[in-house]
């Protein structure tokens, strides 16, 4: 085992990376409220794991979506647990994100030189809400259906481009299979990648600039 470690150490300098990670200075004013961002990240990782597990059984069609969710909850081994964890960690992620934003704002963490860190955080907030909107529709029950109908109908009030924008979101004039396909694709394929990239940028900036000092 030692030889294997030495082989990787010689090429990747693992020990130097570990020393840099564990020796980072933590200001004395930091308290539990500074952990809210990390908790949000943890919730996101839980979402990825549980969401990936459910893709093996979920069927994104208007005729089978609801029944496939019921199948996950009643027939799949620990399916009820996986979906419940996915659902509650989603709510927790949004809650922790909101509290994290308040903490950063109240402690002045958005001020120079951390403006770009704040901007990436706002982008992550938008992406998180987008996850919530798209994921809410996937069970294709009454709540999900009408939520999608209302959300996608909001842009219709915009002059000139409103109607084309609604049709773009829905995939057709009315809510149906095209809408579900779009939301499923956004939720599982489109949104995760930019979220992971912006998260990486966010944490690298925090790592570079450190935690902001007390007011």
Label residue 160 left, alpha or beta by phi (over 0 means left) and psi (-120 to 50 means alpha): left
Position 202 scores a pLDDT of 97
pLDDT in tens, 65-93: 999 999 999 999 999 999 999 999 999 99
Is 43 marked as binding a ligand? no
Is 29 marked as binding a ligand? no
- Span 166-189, average pLDDT: 96
For 107, the token pair is 């402690």
φ, ψ (nearest 5 deg) of residue 191? -70, -40
Distance CA 97, CA 100 (A): 5
Position 215 scores a pLDDT of 60
| The pLDDT of residue 59 is above 80 | yes
pLDDT in tens, 178-212: 999 999 999 999 999 999 999 999 999 998 888 88
Distance CA 163, CA 155 (A): 7
Is 187 marked as binding a ligand? yes
CATH 1.20.810.10 assigned to domain 28-209? The reply is yes
pTM, entire model: 0.89
The more confident residue out of 3 and 193 is 193
Instruction: Tell me the pLDDT of the chain averaged across its residues.
Output: 94
- Domain boundaries along the sequence of the chain: 28-209
CA 37, distance to chain mean position in Å, is 12
Q: Is 99 exposed, middle or buried (0-12, 13-18, 19+ CB in 10 A)?
A: middle
């Amino acid at each position: 085992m030692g030889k294997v470690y030495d082989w990787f150490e010689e090429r990747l300098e693992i020990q130097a990376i570990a020393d840099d990670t564990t020796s980072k200075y933590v200001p004395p004013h930091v308290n539990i409220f500074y952990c809210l961002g990390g908790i949000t990240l943890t919730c996101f990782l839980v979402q990825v794991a549980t969401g990936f597990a459910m893709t093996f059984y979920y069927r994104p069609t208007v005729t089978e979506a609801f029944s496939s969710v019921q199948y996950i909850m009643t027939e799949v081994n620990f399916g009820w647990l996986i979906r419940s964890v996915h659902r509650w960690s989603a709510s927790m992620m949004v809650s922790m994100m909101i509290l994290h934003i308040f903490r950063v704002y109240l402690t002045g963490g958005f001020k120079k030189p951390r403006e770009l860190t704040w901007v990436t955080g706002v982008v992550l907030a938008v992406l998180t809400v987008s996850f919530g909107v798209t994921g809410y529709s996937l069970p294709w029950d009454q709540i999900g259906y009408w939520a999608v109908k209302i959300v996608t109908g909001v842009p219709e009030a915009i002059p000139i481009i409103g109607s084309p924008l609604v049709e773009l979101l829905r995939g057709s004039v009315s809510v149906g299979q095209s809408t579900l396909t779009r939301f499923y694709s956004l939720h599982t394929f489109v949104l995760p990648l930019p979220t992971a990239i912006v998260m990486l940028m966010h944490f690298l900036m925090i790592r570079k600039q450190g935690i902001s000092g007390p007011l």
